[in-house]
Amino acid sequence: MSRIGVVGGGIIGASIAAWLIADGHNVTLFERDPDGQPASAGNAGILALAEIAPLARPGVFAQVPRWLLDPLGPLSLRLRDAPAFAPWLIGFLRAANHAHGEHAAAALAFLMASALADHEELARRTGMVDHFRRTGSLSVFDTKASLASAEAEWVETSRHLGFAFEKLTPAQTRALVPGLAGDFVGAIHSPDGWMVTDPLDILRAVQRRVAGNAPLETAPVATLRPSEGAVAVVAESGRVETFDQVVVAAGVWSRDLVKRLGLKVLLESERGYNTTFPGPPIRIAMPITFADHGFVATPLKDSLRVGGAVELAAIDAPPNFARARGMRTKMRRYFPDLPETGGIEWMGRRPATPDSLPVIGAHPRDPRILFAFGHGFLGLTLAATTARHIAGLIAGRREARLAPFGIERFQ
C-alpha cells in the first residue's frame, strides 16, 4: 500500500484520509487548525442530493441586480475585493449559458447518483451510527416567476435522478408546516430530502477516525515538490516529508498550492453566514429554503440553524455579521416567534469554482498529485463520493465520467 499525504482536514480531506486508511494505506493528514470550524462545520446539514443546477445559469442574471442592491441580500460583493475577483466573475459569466447548464447538471448528477450510498459506506468505515435521516425538503417562493423557474429545475432533476416532488399552494404549505406565516405564492416539496443530525458531529467523527490511525501535522504547508522518486510536502517551517502520492484538499487555500505547481485554477471564497439557536426555539420537521432570499432554516439535532447567502470577499476580510442578522430578520417574516437574541453567529469560507463543478482528479502531468477541492455548497454532500473517487484514482482506476471535474479545464 502507498504512503499518502492529504493536505486539508475539512470534511473533504478528512473523508479522503478516512477512506484511504480503511483501504490500508499509510496516511498523514496536514491540517493547520484541527480544532477549527471550517465551512463543512457550519453548513445547513443538508445532503443536497437534488442540487445539480449550477449557480451560473442564464436566469440568474435577472436577479443579480436586485440582490446586489440589497446590502444584506443573498448575494454581496465587497467593492474593494472586486478587482481580485474579476477573473472568477468573468469565468462565471462565460459559464452562464444553457449548454454549460446541461453539461454541469449531467456531471453533478453522476456524482449525486452514488452520494447517499457513499455516505453510508463512509459511516461504516468511520463507525458513525444514526447520523443521517430522511426528512424531505421544502422550498418556499415569494414570486410566481421564481416558483416556475424552480419547478423547471426540479423537472430536470427528476429526469436525471428520479427524485419526486410536488408543487404546493400556500394553504397546502401551511398544512405541512404549522406556524409558517408571511406572504408567499407557493412551495415545492420533495419527500426525498436527507439531512445529517449535525454537520460538526459528522466532521469530528471522521476526524477522530483519522486521528486514531494517522499522524496529524499542524504546520502550514507551503508547497509541494515532486521529484523522480517521491512527492515532498514542504511546510512553511521548512520541514519536508515525502510520500508516494499527495492529495490537495485544502479548500480555498488549495489555489496557492496549485499555482506553485505551475497550474491555473479559478477558485474563490463564497463566504456564508448562519445563526444557530440552541433549544431550538422553533420546531420544524425538515429544511425550509426561502428561495427568493437565499437562506435556509434547518432542524439540527438539538438546535435550529438559519443561514446561507453568498458574500464574495477576500479570505482574510473581517466578517460582516450584519448578514446573519439580516437573515434572522427575514426569517421572522415567516416565523415571527424566532427570537432576536440568543443565537450563535458563524461565518465560513466555501471554496467555489465559477462553473459550480468541483475539482476532482489528477495533476495532468503528474498522476501522483491529486486534487479534491472547490465543492462550494456541496462539500458535505459530496465528501464521501469524492473520497471514493480519489481512492479509485490512487488505486489506478480511471473513471471517464470524472473528466468534467479535471483541473485541465482551467489550463
Closest CA to 9 of 295, 163, 214, 165: 214
Joined grid coordinates for residue 6:
492529504
Residues 403 and 291 in one domain: no
| Cβ count within 10 A of residue 160 | 16
Joined grid coordinates for residue 380:
458535505
Residues 247 and 187 in one domain: no
Domain boundary among 299, 330, 350: 350
Inter-residue contact 362 to 393 (CB < 8 Å):
yes
- What's the CA gap between 222 and 224, in Å, rounded? 7
Residues 277 and 358 in one domain: no
Cα–Cα–Cα angle for 48, 49, 51, nearest 5°?
70
- What's the CA gap between 298 and 288, in Å, rounded? 6
pLDDT at 71: 65
Domain boundary among 299, 327, 350: 350
pLDDT at 69: 60
- Left, alpha or beta for 309 (phi > 0: left; psi -120 to 50: alpha)? left
Residues 205 and 260 in one domain: yes
> What residue numbers bound the domain in which 401 lies?
1-57+97-131+195-267+353-411
Residues 77 and 212 in one domain: no
| Cβ count within 10 A of residue 390 | 29
Tally of structural domains, the chain:
2
Residues 189 and 201 in one domain: no
Residues 316 and 407 in one domain: no
- What's the CA gap between 38 and 10, in Å, rounded? 6
pLDDT at 68: 63
Domain boundary among 299, 320, 350: 350
Joined grid coordinates for residue 113:
447518483
End-to-end CA distance of the chain: give it in Å, rounded: 32
CATH code of the domain in which 212 resides? 3.50.50.60
Residues 146 and 274 in one domain: yes
Residues 81 and 169 in one domain: yes
Closest CA to 111 of 41, 38, 160, 170: 160
Query: pLDDT (tens digit, 0 to 9) for every residue of the chain, 411 residues total?
Result: 899 999 999 999 999 999 999 999 999 999 999 888 888 888 999 999 999 999 887 767 666 666 666 666 677 888 888 899 999 989 998 998 999 999 999 999 999 999 999 999 999 999 998 899 999 999 999 999 999 999 999 999 999 999 999 999 999 999 999 999 999 999 999 999 999 999 999 999 999 999 999 999 999 999 999 999 899 999 999 999 999 999 999 999 999 999 999 999 999 999 999 999 998 999 999 999 999 999 999 999 999 999 998 898 888 899 999 999 999 999 999 999 999 889 999 999 999 999 999 999 999 999 999 999 999 999 999 999 999 999 999 999 989 999 999 999 999
> Beta partners for 372?
360
Inter-residue contact 248 to 373 (CB < 8 Å):
yes
CATH code of the domain in which 67 resides? 3.30.9.10
Residues 180 and 246 in one domain: no
Residues 336 and 386 in one domain: no
Inter-residue contact 299 to 246 (CB < 8 Å):
no
For cell 416567476, what's the residue?
145
Q: What residue type is assigned to position 99 of the chain? A: A
Residues 190 and 206 in one domain: no
